[in-house]
Each structure stands twice: as C-alpha cells, then as structure tokens.
C-alpha cells in the first residue's frame, strides 16, 4: 500500500503534531508514504474566492507533480487542502475556461495533469483501504474508558461527501471505537469551528468555537478528536479569550492520529502531544497490554 503525500503548510507549521502522529501510525500499519517533491501552497480557500482559475493553477501544480510521481492516490491530511485540491479537480472537469487557463499555465512549467490522481483523506484511507480489522490488530493499549467527541469539521464532507455522509459522518466514530474508546454522541460533529473568523471577527468566530467546546464538555467527553489542523488550532488556542467571554469550557483537542498512536503504544512525546495548549491527561499505564 503506497500513497503520495501532500502535507500542505499546516502540517509543517502549526499542525506539525498532525504529521508527527500521522507518519508513525502509517508506518506501523505498513503504509508507505512518499512526500511530494517541491510541493507548493494549495492556495487555501482564500485564493479560491478571489480568482478560481488562478487559484486552480496553484493547486493543480501539486496534482500534476503527484501524477508525475506515480499512479498513487494523494494523501491530503489537511481538510482545507483536501477541499481545495478536490474542488480544483472538479473545476477542471466541469469548467472549460478554468481548464484552459490551468493547462496553459502548467504547460509553461513543463507539467501536465490528466485528472487521474485521486485526492484522499487519511481517515478515508485508514478505514477503507487499511481497514478496521488491521487497525484493531495493532492496538496494544486500548483507549478503554476514554470518552471521545468525534469532530469532523465542515470541509471533509462538504460539499464533496466522497467517503462519508455529509450530515452524519461516522468513519471516525467507527475508527475510535476500534481503538477501544467510548464515542460520545456529538451531533455538532460537522458544525463550523469558526474557521479564520476566530482571528478576523472573533465575536462571531469564537462563539462557534465556544459552542463546540462547551457541548463536548456537557456531554461528558474527555477529549475532542479532530481531523483538521485549523479545527484543532481553534479549539485549542483560544481558551483564555473564551474563559473571559463565556466562562471556562476546557477540554483538550487532539488529532485522531494522535489517539491512534497512543492506542498503538507509541509514547506521547513522539506523537506531538506536548504541543497542546490544553494538554491531554496521560492515559493510565495499567491499561497497557504489552
């Protein structure tokens, strides 16, 4: 099982603990991962809303490099990258104007893209390609008693609900259950985390973040599991402001890959768990079955 890998900027910066946990987990499962050479910014949703064609060029360059590197699916952990690359693929299929602009630009860079490379999220790959059975076999330290709120964020299932339901995704719920965790009923699982509004219009953005946090606390969760770097940052980084505005709603937010790493028996530091503002309480060692 081999995949090309597009980390995007987040996984090398703010969201480095996502990469720090993703790579060893994949290695444990025998999944081979090759980072794209000379990848560039996906353009994020910001550029898309300014100029879709030019933003498409930026994103399509990554797709072209991936296609050149081999016939593997492109693993894209960041939800924003995942959405932008998928949207670019759709735009190239549906809009001849954008297709022409993008292909002309790629040609000047001595690149082509025929549309073959699939853009895949690690959650999709882990559950559907690797499979829950294979994952279960690697669990040496089940997350027994750990109550987890599964939080998917908006972008991974909308608008392209390619591998799960747009309203009620359950892929991560099943994965967490396979790790032995207790999955908390969390109907806010695809609600907006505030996105970039936490920085630009905090009044609106932080309110959304607060709702997610306080509902996770109210429903008895020990930890929120996320699959997106921006979600993780918003839910983790603004607790002081949230405390001031609405009162405390303290709960750690970690990547689902970090929980997988813990269940696989990897040490917390190796999974980047020390980087959290709100730290996750250590799991009792008595649960280790090694």
Partner 1 sequence: MNANGKNGELRIGFYICHCGHNIAGVVDCPAVAEYVAKLPGVAVSRDYKYMCSDPGQELIQQDIREHKLNRVVVASCSPLLHEATFRKAVAAGGLNPFFFQMVNIREHDSWVHTDRAAATTKAKALAHAAVRRVRFHKALETTRVPIHPDVLVVGGGISGIHAAITIANAGKKVFLVERDPSIGGHMAKFDKTFPTLDCAACILTPKMSAVRSHENITLWTYSEVVKVEGYVGNYTVTVKRKPRYVNEDLCVGCQECIKACVYKEGKFPDEFNVGLSKRKPVYIPFPQAVPQVVVIDPHYCLQLKTGKCKKTCLEACADRQAIDFTQKEELVEIKVGNIILATGFKLFDAKRIPQYGYGLYPNVVTSIELERLVTSSGPTSGEIVLRDGKPPKSVGFILCVGSRDMKTNRWCSRTCCMHSMKLAQLVREHTDADVTVFYLDIRAPGKGCEEFYDKSLRDGIQFVRGRVAEVTDWALAPEEEGKLVIRVEDTLAGFVRRIPVDMIVLAVGMEPHADAQDVRRLFNLSCGSEGWFLEKHPKLAPVSTFTDGVFIAGCCQGPKDIPDSIAQAGAAAAEAMALIDKGYIEQEPNTAYILEQDCSGCKSCLPLCPFTAITFDEAKQKASINAALCKGCGTCVAACPSGSIHQNLFEDEEIFSEIDGVLSYA
Query: Binding residues for partner 1, per CB under 8 A?
Result: 165, 167-168, 185, 187-188, 211, 215, 218
Strand 253-255, strand 147-151: pairing: unpaired
Closest approach, Cβ 190 to partner 1, in A, equals 10
- Cα-to-chain-centroid distance, residue 250: 22
Choice between 168 and 200, CB closer to partner 1: 168
Q: How far is the CB of 215 from partner 1 (least distance, A)?
A: 5
| DSSP state letter for 287 | G
Beta strands in the chain (DSSP E): 2-5, 32-35, 74-75, 119-120, 147-151, 182-183, 223-226, 253-255
- Other C-beta atoms lying within 10 Å of the C-beta of residue 9: 17
Return the closest-CA partner of residue 41 out of 24, 54, 27, 28. 54
Whole-angstrom distance, CA of residue 22 vs CA of residue 261:
8
CB of 154 vs partner 1, minimal distance in Å? 14
Shortest distance (Å) from residue 81 CB to partner 1: 27
Query: CB-wise, 84 or 216, nearer to partner 1?
Result: 216
Which residue(s) pair with 35 in the sheet? 5
Q: What whole-number distance in Å separates Cα of residue 34 and Cα of residue 38?
A: 12
In which residue are the tokens 């932008």 written? Answer: 84
* Residue closer to partner 1, measured from CB, 81 or 212: 212
Whichever of 22 and 208 has its CB closer to partner 1, that residue is 208
- Whether residue 116 contacts residue 263, with contact meaning beta carbons closer than 8 Å, is answered with no
To partner 1, the closest distance from the beta carbon of 195 in angstroms equals 18
Our CB check for partner 1 shows the closer of 46 and 167 to be 167
Q: Are the C-beta atoms of residues 15 and 80 closer than 8 Å to each other? A: no
- Nearer to partner 1 by Cβ, of 204 and 288: the residue is 204
In angstroms, give the least distance from the CB of 280 to partner 1. 23
Quote the least distance from Cβ 149 to partner 1, whole Å: 12
Contact predicate 53/128, CB 8 Å: no
CB 29 within 8 A of CB 138: yes
Q: Which is nearer to partner 1, 54 or 214 (CB)?
A: 214
Beta strand pairing call for 32-35 and 119-120: unpaired
């Amino acid at each position: 099982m081999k995949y090309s890998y597009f980390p995007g900027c987040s996984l090398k910066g703010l969201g480095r603990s996502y990469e720090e946990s993703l790579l060893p987990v994949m290695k444990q499962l025998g999944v081979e991962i090759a980072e794209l050479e000379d990848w560039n910014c996906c353009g994020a949703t910001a550029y898309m809303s300014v100029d879709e064609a030019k933003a498409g060029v930026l994103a399509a360059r990554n797709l072209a490099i991936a296609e050149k590197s081999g016939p593997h699916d492109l693993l894209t952990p960041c939800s924003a990258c995942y959405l932008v690359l998928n949207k670019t693929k759709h735009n190239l299929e549906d809009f001849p104007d954008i297709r022409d602009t993008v292909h002309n630009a790629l040609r000047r860079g001595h690149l082509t893209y025929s549309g073959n490379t699939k853009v895949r999220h690690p959650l999709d790959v882990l559950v559907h390609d690797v499979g829950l059975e294979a994952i279960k076999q690697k669990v040496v330290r089940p997350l027994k008693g750990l109550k987890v709120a599964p939080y998917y964020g908006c972008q991974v299932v909308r608008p392209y609900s390619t591998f799960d339901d747009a309203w009620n995704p359950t892929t991560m719920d099943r994965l967490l259950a396979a790790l032995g965790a207790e999955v908390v009923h969390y109907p806010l699982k695809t609600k907006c985390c505030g996105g970039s509004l936490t920085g630009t219009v905090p009044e609106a953005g932080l309110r959304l973040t607060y709702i997610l946090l306080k509902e996770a606390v109210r429903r008895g969760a020990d930890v929120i599991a996320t699959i997106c770097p921006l979600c993780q940052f918003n839910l983790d980084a603004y607790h002081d402001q949230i405390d001031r505005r609405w009162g405390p709603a303290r709960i750690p937010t970690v990547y689902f890959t970090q929980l997988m790493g813990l269940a696989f028996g990897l040490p917390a530091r190796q999974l980047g768990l020390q980087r959290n503002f709100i730290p996750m309480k250590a799991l009792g060692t008595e649960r280790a079955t090694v």
